[in-house]
Amino acid sequence: MRAGAADARRAAVLGKPIAHSLSPALHRAAYQELGLTDWSYDRFEVDEAALPGFMAELGPEWAGLSLTMPLKRAVIPLLDEITDTAASVEAVNTVVFTEDGRRVGDNTDIPGMVAALRERGIEQVDSAAILGAGATASSALAALARICTGEVVAYVRSEARAAEMRQWGERLDVEVRTANWADAAQALRAPLVVATTPAGTTDALSSAVPERPATLFDVLYDPWPTELAARWSGYGGAVVSGLDLLIHQAVLQVEQMTRRGPAPLDAMRKAGEHELAAR
């Protein structure tokens, strides 16, 4: 049954820059499959300074927001509540507007990472390595807290970053050891390698991929494949991409915002792949 005009709802992704976001393609595909013909999903370029004003103007038709950098921490003071998952890494990528008008923040990146790995058959590992130490690395640590039974080695460029990762490990109850980025080639022998660095950073490591690699989770998706992912898959290793992560975290967002499920994973994946190919 087609929803009436009175049931029209809105959602959007916010961030800066935002023109590259695949979220509109993913969410709109989900709405189509779920029969939510009066739902819309847009993108808005919003920075930290503009965020309070933007949120203050949102009306009752709004169902939720997806947030990307640099808003994942800036939004927290503007919310009524955040989930334990979001609080664990002090980052919100999802805001849901409840029926009673409350604004609840969550982080679907963390369970999205776990779901993306599970889709490839990775339920548990006894150790892991993380390349990088930024905001995505803390989310990766939180995901590893759910599936890694042993040590996580984080390869970083500075002692300040190393200290941050050790602090995140203590907070998330993950055994974290830090190592210098100069030794990052050693990371590639881990049962699970999570690359959280910007485009091009791991290119130099591609020549060090072992002959029988295990699993690589590279959070990038454009351009794809990265040199590291291409060499990894060429040697027969399992590769999980940033698109996999984006889709799985968006699935959870759709289910929370629409209060319907399951979200159409396959349709959302096809929409994301089509959008990337069109670029």
| Rounded-to-integer distance, Cα 15 and Cα 24, Å | 13
pLDDT surpassing 80 at residue 257: yes
3-class DSSP state of 6: helix
- The strand pair at 94-97 and 62-67 is best described as antiparallel
Choose the catalytic residue: 9, 72, 103, 161: 72
Global confidence as pTM: 0.94
Q: What percentage of the chain exceeds 70 in pLDDT? A: 98
Banded pLDDT at 279 (limits 50, 70, 90): confident
Q: 46: phi > 0 → left, psi -120 to 50 → alpha, else beta; which?
A: beta
- Give the burial class of 265: count Cβ atoms within 10 A of its Cβ; 0-12 exposed, 13-18 middle, 19 or more buried: middle
pLDDT at 5: 46
Question: Which residues does 56 contact at the CB level (< 8 Å), separation at least 6?
Answer: none
- Helix 135-147 vs helix 109-119: angle between axes, to the nearest 10 degrees? 60
Catalytic residue check, 16: no
For residue 198, what pLDDT band results from cuts at 50, 70 and 90? very high
CB distance 146 to 162 below 8 Å = no
Residue pLDDT, tens place only, 90-135: 999 999 999 999 999 999 999 999 999 999 999 999 999 999 998 8
Which residues is 99 bridged to in the sheet?
none
Average pLDDT, the chain: 95
Our separate counts of H helices and E strands in the chain read: 9, 12
Instruction: Give the contacts of 116 (CB within 8 A, at least 6 positions apart).
Output: 217, 240, 244, 245, 247, 248
Give the rounded distance of the alpha carbon of 35 from its chain centre. Answer: 26
Say how many residues make up the chain: 279
Mean pLDDT, residues 52-60 taken together:
97
HSE-up of residue 43 (Cα within 13 Å, Cβ side): 16
pLDDT at 2: 37
**Measured distance CA(257)–CA(82) in Å, rounded:** 15
